[in-house]
């Protein structure tokens, strides 16, 4: 009797594969919507690039798996968002990822902060996940059909990222004296950049119904983080200490190096396909 | 009698259990499966722990040569593929450690042996990845050789090992194909890209052939492993099968296999290949390869840097359990 | 009785067994094992390790030390008794062959 193993069957030929890039073939983005898509796409791309470093370096193999899953989700979001941004002027996701210079990147500075130890990575990831959960929840209502579709897929994924980061925050906060000390140090380094995520820019005035006003995400973010901080007895540092400016192309010293690595090979071979 | 079905830790092996041995021999003769709590000869257990843990270590160390290019992958699609592939290797390491653990050796102990430099892993991962095309060559040649080795292991006599291999083989089907595609894309690209591809094939071809282990007459563990239905084909048989598969694939790619002695032998119906440098193989195996020190240091650093995180989570779990007990 | 691996002092995180339901309507089936500090992390790790190709819609995790198994040495006493009790199977009843709806 031959019977297919009902568990874990991976049959390549019979798979129904979902689209890799969400929203392909929809209407082209307006120039403003494209700029907004770069905000979110660059956040996701730069975060994915940072998290990719952990693959083979995680604190435990199971955590290598988790961080890689998160990185792959974010890279998926980045590819969809950059592809959409590119429809405004005929560029591809790779044109945008590999051939823009530092000052043309629109990620928040928070995304480009160094990985540091696991606590630094975790704090950065938690802040983004909590922010993105609120963001993508609302962006599903966007009048830009592609942004809405990307948000609908991303919303489910970032909900898991938040869960994962929240659980680890609890463990680092309440685990050992050493882990708590490291968490506090990480918060001190990372948290000053959080406020930048919530600043409204003039661009938003031209994107009514298309984009989500960052300032409107502040209250639910503060509530979620406040509850977690209270539960774990952690005092969160001032989130508005750093000057920010990533949405205008003003970055930390870290982004240049990160991009140098990301782009080096592609730029050595202009016009090549891979 | 609480007994974990998958993590039995026998304190002593009763090697003179005649009933156990008879049953074991009967199962092997019938080409059936041995399961964790069955009686098995101590040497069978030891041989399996050695083989499965080495296999697991190879997956884990094997992440590094490719992880080296995740940050520089030349397109976002390739970056995603590479991340997923290196992640799979971590997963495969985990499946294999689980299988080995059913024989009574905890993972932390196997892991400690690895970072202490007391355990072996596949020599191939002690070579450096010097260019992007190495991602293609590793997928095509190294994963190709690994698949040749692994498919017969899906029928290995030890149940948990065979089951882990089934899952691994299914998942790995994409690894070789993506490597082939990388090379194909390069071979259709610019002259610089074509040169890159050929250079990578030149460097990875011979080491990948040596992945099947030493020639049969020098292979110390092979005979017993075959008698126990762990290994199904000899090193040289598998190597020959691999070379026979490679030749037409190389032709499809348009790359040259770096072996001047490679020729089709009408008499045997197989591709005859040149002498391999077994001295080089022994050197790398003995720790004197290009990257042995680096690979171990990388693994050790991850293990040591992560200790405080693992301890934090363990401490949190203890505190929660204590609190729950107090409340009850 | 031997000490189960989960309570093994040589490991910082205990061992968990993972069961995955591949699809609605199917049982949870043993997928493998993993290490995790507690149940919450075990289920997350299981999700990240065993369902990344859409292999599951639901997961159970069980501490490996909580599983009780039958004694392999008592195999005969436990599992050979059904042999010969053919009347438990429908194919045993051949006289009704050809009669509709039986």
Gap between the Cα atoms of A94 and A79, Å rounded: 8
A17 domain-assigned: yes
The verdict on residue C101 lying in a domain is no
Residue to test with chain B: of C9, C15, C36, C66, most B Cβ within 10 A: C15
Tell me whether residue A53 is in a domain.
Answer: yes
Q: Does A62 touch chain C (CB under 8 A)?
A: yes
Whether C97 is covered by a domain: the verdict is no
Could B8 and C5 be called an inter-chain contact, meaning their C-beta atoms sit closer than 8 Å? yes
Residue C100 lies in a domain: no
Q: Is the pLDDT of residue B92 over 80?
A: yes
What pLDDT sits at residue B264? 97
B6/C11 Cβ within 8 A: no
pLDDT in tens, A20-68: 888 766 689 999 999 999 999 999 999 999 999 999 999 999 999 999 9
Instruction: At C69, list the tokens.
Output: 């198994």
* CB contact (8 A) between residue A265 and residue B87: no
- For residue C16, the model assigns a pLDDT of 97
In chain A, which stretches have pLDDT less than 70?
Answer: 1-15, 24-26
Give B26-34 contacts, CB < 8 A, sequence gap 24+: B27/B157, B28/B157, B28/B228, B28/B229, B31/B157, B31/B229, B32/B157, B33/B157, B33/B158, B33/B159, B33/B162, B34/B157, B34/B158, B34/B159
C-alpha to C-alpha distance for A134 and A161, rounded to whole angstroms: 13
Q: Which residue has the tokens 């069955």?
A: B38
Residues in chain B closer than 8 A to C65 (CB atoms): 2, 4
Angle at B182 between CA B179 and CA B183, to 5 degrees: 90
Share of chain B above pLDDT 70, in %: 95
CATH number of the domain at C68, please. 3.10.20.520
Test the A interface: residue of B56, B87, B174 with most A CBs within 10 Å: B87
- Assembly ipTM: 0.94
* Domain enclosing residue A72, as ranges: 2-268
Q: What is the pLDDT of residues B151-181, one digit of tens each?
A: 999 999 999 999 999 999 998 889 999 999 9
Q: What is the pLDDT of residues C13-64, one digit of tens each?
A: 999 999 999 999 999 999 999 999 999 999 999 999 999 999 999 999 999 9
Closest CB from C31, C45, C52 relative to A7: C31
Rounded CA-CA distance C102/C96 in Å is 7
| Most distant CA pair in chain B, distance | 79
**Which residue among B1, B101, B164 sits closest to C5, beta carbon to beta carbon?**
B101
Q: Is residue A18, in this structure, part of any structural domain at all?
A: yes
CA nearest A249: which of A97, A100, A31, A102?
A102
List the single residue in C with minimal CA-CA distance to B171: C53
Provide the pLDDT for residue A14.
56
| Cα gap A183→A174, rounded to integer Å | 10
Q: What does the alpha-carbon distance between residue B281 and residue B210 come to, in Å, rounded to a whole number? A: 7
Q: What does the CA dihedral B117, B122, B127, B132 come to, rounded to 10 degrees? A: -130
pLDDT band at B14 (very low <50, low <70, confident <90, very high): low
Hey, which chains touch C, using 3+ CB pairs under 8 Å?
Answer: A, B
Residue in this structure with the two tokens 């006599």, named with its chain if needed: B157
Q: Please report whether residue A251 resides in a domain.
A: yes
Print the domain residue range for C31: 6-92
Q: Decide if C1 is inside a domain.
A: no
Residue A273 belongs to a domain: no
The tally of domains found in chain A comes to 1
> CATH code at A49?
1.20.1260.10
Counting the structural domains of chain C, the total is 1
Q: How many whole angstroms separate alpha carbon B148 and alpha carbon B169?
A: 10
Residue C47, pLDDT score: 97
- % of chain B at pLDDT higher than 90: 87
CA distance C30 to A8: 10
Q: Give the pLDDT band (50/70/90) at residue C4.
A: very low
Taking a C-beta distance cutoff of 8 angstroms, is the pair B187, B255 a contact? yes
């Amino acid at each position: 009797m031959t019977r297919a193993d009902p568990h874990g069957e991976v049959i390549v030929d019979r798979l129904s594969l979902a689209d890799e890039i969400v929203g392909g073939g929809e209407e082209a983005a307006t120039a403003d919507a494209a700029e907004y898509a770069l905000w979110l796409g660059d956040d996701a791309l730069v975060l994915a690039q940072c998290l990719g470093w952990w693959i083979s370096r995680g604190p435990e193999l199971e955590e290598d798996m988790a961080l890689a899953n998160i990185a792959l989700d974010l890279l998926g979001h980045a590819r969809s968002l950059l592809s959409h941004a590119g429809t405004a002027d005929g560029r591809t996701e790779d044109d945008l990822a590999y051939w823009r210079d530092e000052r043309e990147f629109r990620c928040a500075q928070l995304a480009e902060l160094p990985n540091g130890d696991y606590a630094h990575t975790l704090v950065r990831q938690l802040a983004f996940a909590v922010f993105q959960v609120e963001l993508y929840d609302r962006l599903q209502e966007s009048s830009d059909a592609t942004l809405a579709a990307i948000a609908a897929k991303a919303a489910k994924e970032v909900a898991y990222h938040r869960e994962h980061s929240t659980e680890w925050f609890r463990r680092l906060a309440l685990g050992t004296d050493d882990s708590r000390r490291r968490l506090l140090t990480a918060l001190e380094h990372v948290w000053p950049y959080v406020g930048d995520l919530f600043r409204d820019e003039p661009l938003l005035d031209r994107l009514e119904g298309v984009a989500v006003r960052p300032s409107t995400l502040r209250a639910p973010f503060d509530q979620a983080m406040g509850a977690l901080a209270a539960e774990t007895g952690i005092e969160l540092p001032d989130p508005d200490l750093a000057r920010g400016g990533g949405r205008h192309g003003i970055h930390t010293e870290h982004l240049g190096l990160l991009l140098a690595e990301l782009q080096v090979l592609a730029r050595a071979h202009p016009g090549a396909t891979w | 009698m609480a007994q974990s079905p998958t993590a039995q830790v026998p304190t002593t092996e009763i090697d003179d259990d005649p009933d156990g041995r008879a049953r074991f021999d009967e199962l092997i003769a019938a080409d059936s499966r041995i399961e964790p709590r069955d009686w098995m000869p101590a040497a069978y257990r030891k041989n399996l722990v050695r083989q499965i843990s080495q296999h697991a270590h190879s997956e884990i160390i094997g992440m590094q040569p490719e992880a080296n290019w995740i940050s520089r992958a030349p397109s976002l699609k390739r970056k995603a593929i590479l991340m997923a592939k290196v992640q799979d290797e971590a997963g495969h390491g985990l499946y294999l450690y689980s299988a080995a653990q059913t024989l009574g050796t905890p993972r932390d102990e196997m892991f400690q042996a690895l970072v202490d430099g007391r355990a072996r892993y596949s020599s191939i991962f002690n070579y450096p990845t010097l260019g992007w095309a190495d991602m293609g060559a590793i997928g095509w040649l190294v994963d190709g050789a690994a698949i040749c080795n692994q498919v017969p292991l899906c029928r290995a006599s030890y149940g948990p090992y065979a089951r882990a291999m089934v899952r691994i083989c299914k998942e790995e089907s994409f690894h070789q194909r993506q490597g082939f595609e990388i090379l194909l894309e390069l071979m259709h690209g610019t002259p610089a890209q074509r040169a890159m591809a050929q250079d990578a094939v030149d460097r990875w071809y011979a080491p990948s052939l040596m992945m099947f282990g030493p020639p049969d007459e020098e292979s110390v563990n092979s005979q017993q492993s075959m008698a126990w239905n762990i290994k199904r084909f000899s090193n040289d048989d598998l190597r020959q099968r691999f070379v026979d598969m490679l030749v037409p694939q190389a032709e499809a790619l348009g790359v040259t296999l770096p072996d001047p002695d490679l020729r089709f032998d009408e008499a045997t119906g197989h591709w005859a290949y040149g002498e391999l440098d077994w001295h080089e193989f022994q050197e790398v195996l003995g720790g004197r390869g290009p990257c042995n020190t680096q690979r171990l240091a990388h693994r050790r650093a991850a293990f040591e840097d992560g200790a405080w995180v693992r301890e934090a989570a363990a401490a949190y779990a203890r505190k929660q359990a204590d609190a729950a007990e107090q409340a009850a | 009785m031997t000490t189960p691996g989960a309570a093994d002092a040589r490991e910082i995180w205990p061992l968990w067994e993972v069961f995955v339901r591949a699809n609605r309507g199917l049982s949870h089936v043993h997928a493998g094992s993993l290490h995790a500090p507690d149940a919450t992390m075990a289920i997350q790790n299981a999700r990240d390790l065993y369902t990344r190709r859409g292999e599951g819609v639901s997961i159970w995790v069980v501490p490996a030390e909580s599983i009780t198994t039958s004694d392999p040495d008592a195999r005969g006493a436990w599992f050979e008794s059904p042999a010969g009790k053919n009347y438990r199977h429908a194919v045993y009843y051949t006289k009704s062959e050809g009669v509709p709806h039986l």
